[in-house]
Structure 1
Amino acid sequence: MKTKQRSLKTEILLRLAIPLIFFIGFESVLSYFVTLHHVDVAYDRWLLDSARSLTQEIKVRNGKIFVELPPAALEIFKWDESDKTYFKIISEEKGMLAGDKFVPEPFDSKTDWTHPVFFDDEMYGEPVRVVSMSITRENTSEKVFVHVAETLNKRRNMMTDILLADLLPQMALVLLAGIYLVAGVKRGLQPLHVLAGEIAQRSSRDLRPISDRHVFLEVRALTDTINDLLARLSAAIAAQQRFIANAAHQLRTPLAGLKLQVERAQREQDLSAMKPALRHIQGCADRMSHLTTQLLVLARSEPVNGDYELRPVDLCKLARETCMDWVPKALQQHMELSFEGSKRAVYVRGDEVLLRELLANLLDNAICYGHAQGNIVVKVKSHPAPRLIVEDDGPGIPEAEMDKVIERFYRIPGSPGDGCGLGLAIVKEIADLHKARLELKRVSAAGGARIDLVFKQAEQ
């Protein structure tokens, strides 16, 4: 299933636009309730004035309450081009005095009549706003209640006008902000497009660092990372090219010798005269086989190309078995190979094949460069950390050469034998692969080499 690619531009716009829309929506809702409150306060005051104007028409004569409301005054009271106004005047003793009996009254019997009471209700199928108040006239203790109801058209119209006046500028602001955000994000991402174009135009051989003079600080982190990758890639390619050149040089020598000895053997008619050339051919073939094997091991030990899987390996068992395999070759060189290790298993996480190859290279070096009648000792220790030690009594490695001998194809000047300088390089690669520390030491001032491979932690 194909994964949908996410756009950085869309992501930035969403992260900026969503909060903006949310805050504008919140501000609009808040504006609605604030406007509603102020509209209600304004029109409630107007409604209260209408109710008070009615109270002026309530008279007392001979101790009796009555209402004088001429038709002209009533017409003025009810006149409104937008809303309908209803009223009702009720006496506590006489009941209905004037007005429309369907005007709503407060439902709560505990209503506090010390101040006007406002509430919402419905009349003739329309929502209305009602104000109710209680009055007492002089020369009488009788209470009179005045109820005035008004439809809500003016309130709604004012609410709409105010909200439109508030929302339209906000919508324009959102539109302008959206245009600015899109333009700003596009301009902000422009250095990335320029950077991508610059990289796309480069050839596969151009590994120069990318210029960061015209990029933003946040983009510079990306260019720095790419430049670091290019530097490491350049170093890796350079190392690979050196490796190929050195390998070609090392293979050229035995191939040239092989060709020369073949030509020599072809000139001879007698089989006994051919034997020296055939021995040289065999030596060249052995050297090429050994070199090819080491090159393959070196390639496999590369972290990039390795298909290894690190598992618990018994270091004691591996070292003991490898030493037994190399005893015959040590005896051929009149050397003694011994092993010292605990009977208990010492586990490390590693690749068994590569660890055997590591020890084999150390033993091969010790046998090739050691003295006749010499001794080689392989030790495995578990404390304080798992450690593999190979020690011999040969000439040793000079202090000045300690850092150089682990380089590929490097041989100490004047070294005997026909080695290719890959043994310790392979050991170093495998040690790094296992995150182990490689230590090269001299046994004593007189000579001898000791190589320690220290693992970080034991695995049970």
Structure 2
Amino acid sequence: MNKQRSLKTEILLRLAVPLIFFISVESVLSYFVTLHHVDVAYDRWLLDSARSLTQEIKVRDGKVIVELPPAALEIFKWDESDKTYFKIISEEQGMLAGDKFVPEPFDVETDWTRPVYFDDEMYGEPVRVVSMLITPEHSSEKVFVHVAETLNKRRNMMMDILLADLVPQMVLVLLAGIYLVVGVKRGLRPLHTLANEIAQRSSRDLRPIPEQHVFLEVRTLTDTINDLLERLGLAIATQQRFIANAAHQLRTPLAGLKLQVERAQREQDLSAMKPALIQIQGSADRMSHLTTQLLILARSEPIDGDYELRPVDLCKLAKETCMDWVPKALQRHMELSFEGSKRALYVRGDEVLLRELLANLLDNAICYGHDQGNIIVKVQSYPSPCLIVEDDGPGIPEVEMGKVFERFYRIPGSPGDGCGLGLAIVKEIADLHKARLELHRLSAVGGTQIELFFKEP
């Protein structure tokens, strides 16, 4: 089961995570920039200390000596936070002054044309060391000066600068977080209001959702919901109209059935009951036919996803259906013929519904055609797959052609006891298959041609 996600949480995460990331990156960059500048500042101080020592190096009687009074040594080493160590070494004489444990550069290829800085450790503490090479006046002897200092002042200054930079940033992040939470909550309030308004509606209230206080970004959602409500309203209205029409159509044969039953009950012998029984059988047949057509019409309702249209051989289907209807045509001495290719002609469709479509066309042609008339069913492949049904009956008047596909509509004065659903079913099935339906009158005398054009599979 998928865990539902909160839109508010999603928005906050998408806003807060980048903010925290950029603050973190900026803090890391600030650390290294601060470290660099602190090192530069204190390296200069360290270099000044080394240069002050070089002033105490003298040459006397051709010999390099270091004159460093105790008072000067106290001033050099005095510091509240750090310890300072030094070492002065002559290339020829060796150790001249200072602490012999002061580190020296390890690289034998050190460039001594400028001061050398490096980090090391002394007496278990990390130190920063500067080393420089000098050649005293009136002497060719090389003298190395090494000054080391612990890192307490550097660390303290770096922490002071970082805190001065980070504290305002943390306060900014906190304030921004509070603002984001409040802002997102207020921003989503119209959605909650909209949800509450929809939840309070009754199941029959399909009015469009008002969009006066809806954000532009939410307008797409409300438009989609309103479109769905409109289509749902049309579907419900269609269903209600269908139920009302079906009830009206069923009422007539039921009333006739009831009258004939009452008539049969009044008779005493079987021969007198026979006319009533024949009428009962006719009413039952009409009810059965009407019920079958109502079920087909309900099944052919164009609801998305109900049908998976598959390739169907239109020639084979039409030929088999015509063979099934030959006996009924012969009852009226009518000739039913089929014209089509022996090769398969495939269309995408529902085989059962296509059979019902052709069956309704043939039923209409037989019921409303002339005795000893002709009915022709054709299947053509050019320019697109097409099913054609022609008859030589009285035909449909031009003024009625726009109405005959409506449900329960019958042409005034038409013979037979149909219920006006045959062509409505044909239209519904054609629409389901996205096929084009055309109705033509063959001549002024009569005749009807119905063409159904399918799309290529």
Fold shared, TM-score > 0.5 on shorter chain: yes
Q: Cα distance 1:305–1:129, how it changes in 2: closer, same or farther (>3 A)?
A: closer
Query: 2:284 is aligned with what amino acid?
Result: A
Contact 1:299 1:305 in 2 (8 A): no
Residue 107 (structure 2) pairs with residue 113 (structure 1): no
CA distance in 1, matches of 2:91, 2:399: 121
Partner of residue 132, structure 2? 133
Asked whether the 8 Å contact 1:88–1:100 carries over to 2, the reply is yes
Match of residue 268 from structure 1: 267
- Structure 1 pair 212–67 and aligned structure 2 pair: CA distance change class (3 A): same
Mapped partners of 2:304, 2:211: distance in 1: 32
Superposed, 1:260-299 pairs within 5 Å as 260-299=259-298
Is the counterpart of residue 28 in structure 1 residue 27 in structure 2? Answer: yes
State the 1:60 CA deviation: 1.7
SS at match of 2:362: helix
- 1:157 deviation in Å? 0.9
- What is the letter of the counterpart of residue 205 of structure 2? D
Where does residue 395 of structure 2 map in the other structure? Answer: 396
How far apart are the structure 2 equivalents of 1:127 and 1:341?
101
Structure 1: which amino acid aligns with 2:22?
F
**Correspondence for 2:203:** 204
1:257 corresponds to which residue?
A: 256
Matched position secondary structure for 2:109: coil
Q: Deviations over 1:114-172 (max 9, x none)?
A: 21111111111211111111112222222211111111111111111111111111111
Structure 2 partner of 1:14: 13
Q: 2:250 matched to 1:228?
A: no
Q: Does 1:88 align with 2:70?
A: no
Amino acid at match of 2:280: I
Equivalent runs, 1:108-257 vs 2, <5 Å: 108-257=107-256
Q: CA deviation at 1:102?
A: 1.4
Quote the sequence identity (%).
87
Alpha-carbon deviation of 1:391?
Answer: 1.5
Q: Counterparts of 2:283 and 2:198 in 1: how far apart (Å)?
A: 48
Cross-structure match for 2:58: 59
**CA, structure 1 residues 305+265, in 2 after alignment: closer, same or farther (shift >3 Å)?**
farther
**Per-residue deviation, 1:91:** 1.5
Structure 1: how far apart are the matches of 2:391 and 2:235?
34
Q: 2:188 is paired with a residue of what secondary structure?
A: helix
Q: What secondary structure sits across from 2:447 in the alignment?
A: strand
Instruction: State the Cα RMSD in Å.
Output: 1.7
* Counterpart secondary structure, 1:447: coil
Q: Deviations over 1:5-61 (max 9, x none)?
A: 111111111111110110000000010011001101111111111111111111122
Matched residue, 2:454: 455
Greater shift in the superposed pair: 29-38 or 394-403: 394-403
Q: What is the deviation of 1:270?
A: 4.8
Moved over 4 A (4+): 305-309
Q: Secondary structure at the match of 2:442?
A: strand
Cα distance in structure 2, aligned partners of 1:410 and 1:123: 108
Check conservation: 1:58, 1:68, Cα contact below 8 A.
yes
Map of 2:324 onto structure 1: 325
- Matched residues in 2 for 1:305 and 1:139: separation? 105
Match of 1:341 in 2: 340
Deviates more, 1:261-270 or 1:323-332: 261-270
Return the letter of the residue paired with 1:316.
C
CA contact (8 A) 1:82 1:153 kept: yes
Give 2:375's aligned residue: 376
Deviations 1:370-392 (A, max 9, x none): 22222111111233332221111
CA distance in 2, matches of 1:248, 1:181: 60
SS of the residue 1:450 aligns to = strand
- Distance, in Å, in 1 between the alignment partners of 2:420 and 2:436 is 20
Q: CA deviation at 1:68?
A: 0.6
Distance in 1 separating the partners of 2:54 and 2:113: 15
Counterpart-to-counterpart distance in 2, 1:181 and 1:134? 60
Asked if 2 retains the 8 angstrom alpha-carbon contact of 1:118 and 1:132, the reply is: yes
Change (3 A) 1:224 1:100: same
Contact kept, 8 Å, 1:397 with 1:442, in 2: the verdict is yes
The letter of the residue matching 1:87 is F
**How many residues align structurally?**
457
CA 1:35/1:445 → structure 2, altered by over 3 Å: closer, same or farther?
farther
